[in-house]
Structure 1
Amino acid sequence: MLGRKSGVASRLQTMFPNITLWHCSAHRLELAVADVVKEMGAVNHFKSLMDKLYALYSTSNKNRLELRTAAESLDVQLCKIGRILDTRWVASSFRTVDAVWKNYPALYKHFQTASDDPSRDGITRRTYSGLAMRLSSHAFVNNLGIMCDALQELSELSVELQKRDVTIISAHKTISREIRVLEAMSERPGRYTELSQRGIVENSFQGVTLNGGKPSDKSLDHKQFFLTVAKNLEERMLSQGGRVPDKTGYNKFIEELKVLYAQYWPDGADALYGETEVESLCQRFNITNPRAVLRAYRAYRDSDGNDMPDELRELLVAVNSIPIASAECERGFSQMNLICTPHRGSLLIPTISSLLFLNLVGPPLDKFNPVPYVRSWVSKGHRNATDARSKTRNREREENPDMLVMWNIMSS
C-alpha cells in the first residue's frame, strides 16, 4: 500500500497533492526491530530457543502443571511465556523475556527434573537435558539480559506512540530521545545486563550453576547490538523514506513544525524567523487566510510562546489532527474479535457496530446514567424487569423414571 510508484499512498498523493502521508509509527518500530533480527544472527539463535519454550508450555497442560509445581517449590511467581519478535507489538516480546527472567530458576528445575524422570523415554529426557544445558549457558544468560534491557526500552517507546494524545512533534521528540538512550546504553549496560554479566563472572545466575555452553552458541555483543538497534530505529522512524534517503519531506516537515513550539526557537532569532515555515504549513493544510495566521504567529513570538491567538491555534489544531499511529484501528479490530465470536454469529451488522461504538468510546459504568435510556425503553411499550402483569408460561413436567436415579444424585 505504500509503494512509491503504484501504491495506494502514491495514487492518493497524485489525486490530492497536499495530502500528508504518514506510515504508522508503531508499525515502523516493529520494522526496525525486524531489521535488527535480520542483521544479527545471535538474535535469531535466542529467538529459536524462546520459541521452543513457548511451544513446550503452550501445547501441554502437563508441562504447565509441572512448571507451576517447580515454581511453587522455589517460591517463584509464575509468569506466562509467549512468543517474541513476531507479529504482535514489541511490548508483548518484553513481557515474554521478562517472564523467562523471573521464571528462570523454575524453568531450570523443571528441565532437570524431567531429564531425570525414569517414566519418560530416552529421547524426551535428552531433550530436557539439552534445554537445561542451553538455559544455563553463558551465551543464553548474556543474551537474556541484553534483550530484556533493549525490549524494555522499545516496549515503553511503543506504548508512548500508541497513546491517543500523542502528536507528530511529541512523537519525534520521544523517538530522538530513545535513540540517544540506546546509543548511551551501548557504553553503559542496563540493569538486566549488569545482573546477567555478574552471574556469568560468578558462574551462578539466580541460584543456577552456569556452564560454558557449546561452540555453536552465539552470544550478542553488547555494544554492537545497541548501536545496531539505534541505527535501525533512526533509519526507520526519523525518515518516512525508510532505508532510503528522505524523499517524502519528513525532515522538512518536522523543521516546519518546530517553529510552532517555543522550546525549539533559537536564541537571538531575527524578527522574520519561522515565517517561511508557517506559510508552507498554511499551504499544506489549505488555510484560507495565511496572512492572518502569519500576524498571529508574530504576536505569539512576541509573547515568548505564552499567548497563542485563535488564528494560529487553527493551524496547530490542523497539525495535531494527523494521527501518527493506527493503534485506534488495532483497538477496534481487537474489540470486534471479542464481540463477534463463533458463538455469537447471529449478530447483525448494525448491532456489532453499536457494540463497537460503546466499547471504544462509551463511558465506564460508574459514569453512565441509564435512567434516560430506561425511560425511553418503557415509553415505547416494552415491559420492565419488575413487571408482574406478564403471564407466566405453564410448563408441563414430564416424569422420566429412567432419569430419577441421575436426578437424585445431582440434587443430593
Structure 2
Amino acid sequence: MAKSLKGSISKLFNAKIQKSGSSSQVEEASGEDMNEVHVELNESVVANEKFSEEEASGEDMDEAHESEGVDVANDEFREEHNEDNLRDGGVNEEASVSMLDLEKDVDVNYDPGLWGIINDTKKDLSHEEQMSIVIRCVDVEDASEVKVEEFFLGFIKVDDTSGLGLFKRLEDTLVDLKLNIDDIRGQSYDNGANMKGKHQGVQRRLLDVNPRAFYVPCGCHTLNLALCDMAKSCVKARNFFGYVQKIYTLFSGSTHRWDVLKTYVKGLSPKALSVTRWESHIESVRAIRSQPEELRDALIEISNTSKDDVVMAEAKGLCFNALEDFEFLDKLVYLELILFFEELREDGFLDLIEEGKELAKKVGIEPAFTVKRVVRRKKQFDEDVGEDANESQSPQEKFKVTYFYHIIDQALTSLKDRFEQFQRYEEIFGFLLNGKFKSISEDKLMEHCSQLQSFLEYKEHCDIYADELFQELRYLKTLLPKDVTKSIDILNTIKSYWEEGGFQTVWVTYRILLTIPVTVASAERSFSKLKLIKTYLRTTMSQERLSGLAMISIENEYLDKLNYDDLIEDFASKNARRSNFLGVG
C-alpha cells in the first residue's frame, strides 16, 4: 500500500506541475510544432524548480512583464487566451483529468490499513476557508531503511465548516484521489469542536464509516489548551497574565522604550501572549522569571525619563504591582513548576514559598504577602459563624487556597479530559511502544494481542490475528538487541526477515502503529506556504493553481525525481489535441 500510495503521490505531483505551470506557454502550439512546445515546457519546468525563491518574493508576473517592456498587444493576447481557457476548459481541465487518474497507482489490496489522515483549516487572504490535506504512511520503498513519511496532497476550498460539511468535503476529495477511506488507520486534527467533536465532529463521522480510523488529538494543541485553561481558571491567574502582557505592551509600544529594555536586559526579551501560539504563556513567564531585577530597573528608568504621563504612570504601576510584589514573584516560580502537578499539590507549596523568597531578595523587597483590609458587614442573628472562616486565614493561606490549589486542580482536570484519547491509545498499542512486550508475561502479552485484534477487526475483516502476533512477538523477544526499542528501529531490524516471508503480522502491526499521527504540524506548516503563495497581490488566484504551487513548494524534493520527458510529452500531446479540436494552427 505504501509503495502504491507513494506512486499515487508522484502521479498527483506530476499533474499539479502540469496544472500550475505552463498553460500560457503552449496555447499557440499545434500538432505540428511539438519541438517548440518541448522547448517552452522545459523552460517552464526549470522555472517551477525555482518556485520557492520567485513566488516568495511577492512580485506579480504581470508587473515583471511590464518592467521588461512587454507591449499592450501581448497583454491583449494573454487575456484573449485566458478567456478561451475559462470558456473551453483549456489545459487545466485536461490536466485535472490526469490528476484524478490514479487507479493504476493505488492497489488497495497490497497491504491493509497503512495510512493516516491529517487535516487542518485556515482562512486565506480571500476570506476563503482552506483545508490542508496531509497523509501519513510508512515508506518501505527505500532499500536501506524504513521511513515514516507525511505527504501534502493539496488545499481544498471549504464552504461549510461544520463537522458534516468538512467530512463531506474530505470524503469527496478522497474519492476523487481514489484513496479508499476504509484503509485509514489513524486521524488527527486540531482541538476545534467541528473537528474533534465526540458526536458531530469530523473524527466521529469518520469513525462511523471506518471504526478502525483511530483518532488522536494533536498533542501540541492539547497541551497548549490545557495551559490556556489554567491561565483563565481564576481571577488571580487572569490578573497575573494581564500584568505579563502589559509589560510586553509597554516596552514594544515604542522603539525608544525597547532600546531601554535592551540596555538593561541582556537575556530573554518579554513575549506577547497568544491563544493559538504554542507555549506562549510559558515563554512570557520565563523571560520575566529569569531576570526580574533587570526588568524592574528598565521600568524605573522609563518612569523617571518618559515625557508621556500615561507611560510614566503605567511603568510605575507595573514596577510596584508586579516586579515589587511578592505574590506576583511567587506566581512566577509556581508556573515554572507546572509539570509536577500531583506532587506539587501535596508537597510543593512550601518549596514554592522558599523559591519565591529567594527571588524577592534578588529584587530587594520584603518576602511577605500583602495584608489587605477586609470590609466586614454586620451579621444577621441566623447566620453561621463558620462562614467567617476564610476571613481569619492568613494571606499566605489565602494565596494557597484561592490561587495555588485552584490552578493545580484545573490543570489536573484539564489534562485528564484532554488526554483521554491518549490513554485509550496507550491501552491498545502501549505494549508495542518502547519494546515493552519484551518484559511482560506471556499471559499478559496474549491478552494485549487479543485486544488489538478486536480493535482492528471490522465487518469480518481483520488486519492481524492475535495467535500469529503472539507467536511472532515471542520469537522476536529473543531476536531483538537490547538497545532496539523504538518502533521504527524494530521495523528496520525485521525488514530483511519480512522480505523473506517472516514476521508478517508484526510487520503489519508496527506499520499501522506508525501511521497514527501524533500532531498536525505538517498541516500547520503548509499554511506558512499558503501565506507566501497567496499574497494580497494574488487574492484572485484560482484554487487549482494555489494547490498546485503549494504542492510544488512543499514537496519540492520530487522535482529532481520527475521524468520531464514523459511530463512534457503528455502535456504537449494534450495541448495538440485541443488545438486540433478548436481548429487552431
Structure having the higher strand fraction is 2
Partner of 1:79: 268
Separation of aligned partners in 1, 2:458 and 2:513: 10
Aligned counterparts, 1:74-223, within 5 A: 76-84=265-273, 86-90=275-279, 92-117=280-305, 119-121=307-309, 123-134=310-321, 135-150=323-338, 153=339, 181-187=340-346, 189=348, 193=352, 196-199=355-358, 203-206=360-363, 212-213=369-370, 215=372, 219=399, 221-222=403-404
Equivalent position to 1:256, from 407, 428, 432: 428
Residue type of the partner of 1:16?
Answer: N
Equivalent position to 1:327, from 518, 521, 524: 521
Residue type of the partner of 1:54?
Answer: Y
Separation of aligned partners in 2, 1:198 and 1:128: 24
Task: State the shift of 1:209 in Å.
Answer: 6.8
Quickly say closer, same or farther: Cα 1:125–1:35, change in 2 above 3 A.
closer
Segment of structure 1 superposing worse, 293-302 or 207-216: 207-216
Separation of aligned partners in 2, 1:271 and 1:49: 53
Equivalent position to 2:456, from 259, 282, 293: 282
SS at match of 2:432: coil
Aligned counterparts, 1:378-393, within 5 A: none
Quickly say closer, same or farther: Cα 1:210–1:342, change in 2 above 3 A.
farther
TM-score, normalised to structure 2, is 0.47
Partner of 2:73: none
Structure possessing the higher relative contact order (Cα contacts under 8 Å, 6 or more residues apart): 2
TM-score, normalised to structure 1, is 0.64
Residues 230 and 410, structure 2, Cα contact 8 Å, conserved in 1: yes
Separation of aligned partners in 2, 1:82 and 1:338: 25
SS at match of 2:269: coil
Task: State the shift of 1:318 in Å.
Answer: 1.4
Partner of 1:269: 443
1:311 aligned to 2:476? no
Separation of aligned partners in 2, 1:354 and 1:88: 28
Residue type of the partner of 1:301?
Answer: R
Residues 105 and 208, structure 1, Cα contact 8 Å, conserved in 2: no
Figure out how many residues of one structure are paired with residues of the other and give that number: 322
Cα deviations across residues 226-254 of structure 1 (Å, max 9, x unaligned)?
454234212221x13xxxxxxxxx75553
Aligned counterparts, 1:293-304, within 5 A: 294-304=467-477
Equivalent position to 1:66, from 255, 260, 269: 260
Separation of aligned partners in 1, 2:248 and 2:418: 29
Task: State the shift of 1:77 in Å.
Answer: 1.0
Residue type of the partner of 2:361?
Answer: S
Separation of aligned partners in 2, 1:145 and 1:23: 30
Which structure 2 segments of 5+ residues have no match? 1-193, 374-394, 481-493, 495-502, 570-585
Cα deviations across residues 339-366 of structure 1 (Å, max 9, x unaligned)?
5433676877677556644664556xxx
Separation of aligned partners in 1, 2:460 and 2:215: 15
Task: State the shift of 1:286 in Å.
Answer: 8.4
SS at match of 1:82: coil
Cα deviations across residues 113-169 of structure 1 (Å, max 9, x unaligned)?
333347443x5433322111012100110011111332xx5xxxxxxxxxxxxxxxx
Segment of structure 1 superposing worse, 300-309 or 327-336: 300-309
Quickly say closer, same or farther: Cα 1:234–1:80, change in 2 above 3 A.
same
Separation of aligned partners in 2, 1:111 and 1:360: 45
Quickly say closer, same or farther: Cα 1:343–1:149, change in 2 above 3 A.
farther
Quickly say closer, same or farther: Cα 1:270–1:138, change in 2 above 3 A.
closer
Task: State the shift of 1:67 in Å.
Answer: 1.8
Quickly say closer, same or farther: Cα 1:23–1:137, change in 2 above 3 A.
same
Separation of aligned partners in 1, 2:369 and 2:432: 56
Partner of 1:27: 221
RMSD: 4.0
Which structure 1 segments of 5+ residues have no match? 154-180, 241-249, 381-412
Cα deviations across residues 3-55 of structure 1 (Å, max 9, x unaligned)?
34433333333333443233323222223223323433321111111121222
Cα deviations across residues 243-266 of structure 1 (Å, max 9, x unaligned)?
xxxxxxx75553232343552564
Separation of aligned partners in 2, 1:105 and 1:33: 26
Residues 219 and 519, structure 2, Cα contact 8 Å, conserved in 1: yes
Quickly say closer, same or farther: Cα 1:94–1:347, change in 2 above 3 A.
same
Aligned counterparts, 1:228-267, within 5 A: 228-237=410-419, 239-240=420-421, 251=423, 253-261=425-433, 262-263=435-436, 266-267=440-441
Task: State the shift of 1:97 in Å.
Answer: 1.4
Residues 136 and 211, structure 1, Cα contact 8 Å, conserved in 2: no
Separation of aligned partners in 2, 1:285 and 1:60: 65
Partner of 2:41: none
Segment of structure 1 superposing worse, 226-235 or 209-218: 209-218
Residue type of the partner of 1:269?
Answer: D
Quickly say closer, same or farther: Cα 1:213–1:353, change in 2 above 3 A.
farther
Separation of aligned partners in 1, 2:282 and 2:274: 9
Separation of aligned partners in 2, 1:118 and 1:289: 71
Task: State the shift of 1:194 in Å.
Answer: 7.2
Task: State the shift of 1:82 in Å.
Answer: 2.1
